[in-house]
């Protein structure tokens, strides 16, 4: 009986640990191949990978794309989320459903149409061309909507009695209470667009606008004749390390934000 009880108590934890190890194995292998050589720690592979391609330019492009997208998505999400959370108007349910549909139907389902639009706007091979299809995020809108719905009406009424208009109410009452939701959405937006590959690959053909994930693919393609696994692993580490480090530093706050925000 004691053994069976111990298995019931420990079994779920062991199963989760095994699943986590399987999921994390590719990342662990990349880090091992990057920083370990002949039984000791080394940065040689990382420095070689950084010098083998213009990763500095790729990284700068990625930061601009990811930062610009999060700003646009958060701004639009907060504005539309506030309207959907606090106002009643005809078609509100339909509009909410359309944003939900954007989550269900991925961008890749309309990839050709998006490409033709960007081509018609003469935005190919530009960072704006990469960003434009993602500027409005259904997840962002619904995340802020849920956060604003949780704010008590009494706080808004008290702010209006103090003389605040709508913008003042949003700034002083709603936005401070939506910080956990904004953090959770930031994780979703940044991790997705930091590693996004297919769309940036389609609309860029020079290093001027390529993000870091596409730059990694270009390096791998150039190495096809004689694959150098340590070099490719180090280049992959350049892509994934910033995300891993941020999560390691702020994982408690990130998990708390997800728990508080994504209950819809």
pLDDT of 225 reads: 39
CA-based nearest residue to 33, from 195, 218, 227: 227
If DSSP codes are grouped into helix, strand and coil, which group holds residue 41? Answer: strand
Contact status, residue 215 vs residue 54, Cβ threshold 8 Å: yes
pLDDT of 133 reads: 92
Distance CA 154, CA 179 (A): 20
Residue 175 dihedral angles phi and psi, to the nearest 5°: -60, -40
45-261 CATH fold: MetI-like fold (1.10.3720)
User: pTM for the whole thing?
Assistant: 0.84
Q: Tokens at residue 163, please?
A: 């003389």
pLDDT of 102 reads: 86
Distance CA 176, CA 190 (A): 21
pLDDT of 263 reads: 59
Q: Tokens at residue 24, please?
A: 């994390």
pLDDT of 250 reads: 77
Longest dimension (CA), the chain: 72
Mean pLDDT by 10 residues, the chain (264 residues): 59 78 85 83 84 88 96 95 91 90 82 92 94 92 91 89 88 91 90 91 91 86 62 84 82 74 58
Distance CA 40, CA 125 (A): 42
List of long-range contacts for 107-113, beta carbons under 8 Å, 24+ apart: 107/133, 107/134, 107/199, 108/198, 108/199, 111/198, 111/199, 111/202
DSSP letters of 132-163? GGGSS-HHHHHHHHHHHHTS-HHHHHHHHHTT
Contact status, residue 189 vs residue 243, Cβ threshold 8 Å: no
pLDDT of 2 reads: 58
pLDDT of 116 reads: 94
If DSSP codes are grouped into helix, strand and coil, which group holds residue 215? Answer: helix
Q: Tokens at residue 185, please?
A: 């959405």
What residue spans in the chain does CATH classification 1.10.3720.10 cover? 45-261
């Amino acid at each position: 009986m004691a053994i069976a009880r111990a298995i019931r108590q420990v079994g779920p934890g062991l199963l989760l640990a095994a699943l986590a190890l399987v999921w994390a194995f590719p990342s662990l292998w990349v880090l091992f191949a990057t920083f370990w050589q002949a039984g000791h720690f080394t940065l040689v592979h990382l420095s070689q990978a950084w010098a083998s391609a213009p990763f500095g330019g790729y990284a700068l492009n990625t930061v601009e794309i990811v930062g610009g997208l999060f700003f646009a998505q958060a701004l639009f999400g907060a504005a539309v989320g506030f309207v959907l959370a606090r106002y009643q108007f005809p078609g509100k349910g339909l509009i909410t459903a359309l944003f939900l549909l954007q989550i269900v139907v991925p961008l890749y389902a309309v990839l050709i149409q998006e490409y033709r639009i960007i081509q018609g706007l003469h935005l190919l091979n530009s960072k704006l061309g990469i960003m434009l299809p993602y500027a409005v995020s259904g997840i962002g809108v619904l995340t802020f909507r849920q956060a604003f719905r949780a704010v008590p009406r009494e706080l808004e009424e008290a702010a209006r009695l103090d003389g605040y208009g709508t913008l003042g109410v949003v700034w002083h009452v709603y936005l401070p209470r939506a910080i956990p939701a904004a953090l959770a959405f930031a994780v979703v937006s940044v991790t997705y667009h930091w590693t996004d590959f297919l769309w940036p690959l389609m609309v860029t053909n020079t290093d001027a606008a390529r993000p870091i994930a596409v730059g990694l693919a270009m390096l791998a393609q150039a190495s096809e004749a004689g694959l150098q696994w340590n070099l490719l692993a180090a280049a992959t580490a350049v892509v994934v390390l910033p995300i891993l480090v941020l999560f390691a530093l702020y994982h408690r706050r990130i998990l708390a934000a997800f728990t508080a925000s994504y209950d819809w």
